[in-house]
Structure 1
Amino acid sequence: MTAGNNGASTPEDEDPFGYLYADGQANGAQPPTGGYGYPGSVNRVRAVGQRQYGQSQPQPQPATAAYGQVPQQQQTYGQTAYGQPNAHYAAPETVPGAAPTTRQTPVGGGGGGRGRGPNTKGLLIGAIAVVAAVVIGISVAMIGGNSDDDKNAAGGPSNSPAASHSASSSASASVSATAGELPRVDAKALRLEGGTALASDVKGAKSDGGIYVTGFNQVGAKVTWSVDAPEKGGYRLYVRYDIPGVDANGTLTVNGTPNTQPLNMKNFSGQPAGDWEKGWQTTWGQVNLNKGTNTIELGCANGNQCNVYLDQFYLTGLNG
């Protein structure tokens, strides 16, 4: 198949861009009028700010279409030409009840509508308040602790377990708390029976004049003390005695009833045997007394070891 002349029109004449090619230009193709080399285009140059939106703009007139060019048609959407303001259109912010489109200033923001970060001043004040509360609490605790220590040092009440236990014991034997100083008796004020007698040969007795009871080293010997108790309850009966470095004991009878356990008068201090002057010691036994007059007897019964001198008797509460 050979190329031939297809007619008077040539491809360059039919191609609107034929003027861009050398053979098209040789055949007389010319660029279309209107600008930018596009068919029917409009070249309109305006100064900045010259164009006014919302006003009717003059519409470009279609260029005379050359052969092979398609005239630009004005497209319309509805009844409004493309590029023209629509009389039925309204901006969203102008519709009643619509949200404003202006930029809102953030809460806590600074001037000029510019937002700020977190409220660091408030956080700082809160932190300072917390630290102050902790410091005050520690100070109060320290002051309270010092107050308790001062009370303990001065013999005042304490909340410690030991003090609570002591207070409970004192309540069960409240004799010493209400009676003041409890009775005390010297050897020469005791009633002597069963061969007992007074003496003062051995030094160290605390009774008036250094007098003590001797002759207790035989069965049936006894001494009796008539004592007034301020209250009914339990007491400690203290007995000061002297032994020659050898253990001793005796039978304790309260208001006619003997105690089941003998009064122990051991050589607690470990003094050497035969030395009477170094053998002075103190022991105690519990007695239950009635309020008012009571009779306390210390005797030498069968089975007792009674080689002992007797000095003073006195009472205390159960806590001594």
Structure 2
Amino acid sequence: MTPGNNGASTPEEDDPFGYLYADGQANGATPPSGGGGYGYPGSVNRVRAVGERKYGQQTAQGTYGQQAPTAPYGQVPQQGGYGQPNAHYGAPETVPGGAQTARTPMPGHGDGGRGRGPNTKGLLIGAIAVVAAVVIGISIAMLGGGDDDKGGNQADPTPSTAQSASPTDAETKGSDKPAELPKTDAKALNLGSTGVTTASDVEGAQSDGGVYVAGLNNPGASVTWTFNGIPEDGTYTVFARYSVPGQDASMTLTVNGKPFGSKLSMENYAHAAEGDFAKGWTTTYAWPTLNKGTNTITLSCGDGDSCNVLLDQLSLKKGQVKR
């Protein structure tokens, strides 16, 4: 080895992987063998046993790979090595009155597995019992309520002091329904003696068999209707169905022997042509006061009346109505 070339035997240039490169192979580097150094000829053998090498001065940890000396039991070392307690540190349990290090065993562990945990089975049974009690209570309440409802629907056999024996609302409403009032047709009327008769030649009459009263255009001619069944005194409406042949007519109305305040108007409301009785059927009305029970109504051809009419039917309604 010359002073100008130190070769590959210096530690700084000893490349363990020199055999992998071209310049290393040129300098004679070879792969490592079983027990020698790395591939350069005359390379430094740096293989050492663990703990053999020493670094500088010895520390508290001692020689590399060897356990550092420890202080006697109960004494704090003057200078702790790596992993040793610091001289200024004391664990809480070493200080008087410090924290206790004893551990409380967990249930089922500290006593060798013989401890018992929470009684979850008892809690579950209790919860089920409470739910069952609530369900039973609700069922009893529902059954009891149904019995009360049934009992409330039963009528009391005799009126109590708080009940009234008067008619119910339904009965009162039923009594407000208008009673069936009398009505008549031509064959049931009492005809006057002066040329008044019945006929059925003209079509359109609604009486049984199409019968109507004729001959009322003679002075003094009349028809009378006597009826009963009036529920109470009061004002009623009397309807007269008639026919006029294209001209207006009027007749005298008498109620219970007294002339009504005005003539019964029998105008040509159907607008029938002159002489066409079949097209002239219509209805008129008046509002007389009737008595409870039996009453009599008379239609007559009085002085100043125009009585060329055919009379079909008479009927009644309670109150002042128009149809």
- Under a length normalisation based on structure 2, what TM-score does the superposition of the two structures give? 0.44
- Under a length normalisation based on structure 1, what TM-score does the superposition of the two structures give? 0.44
Q: Which has the larger radius of gyration?
A: 2
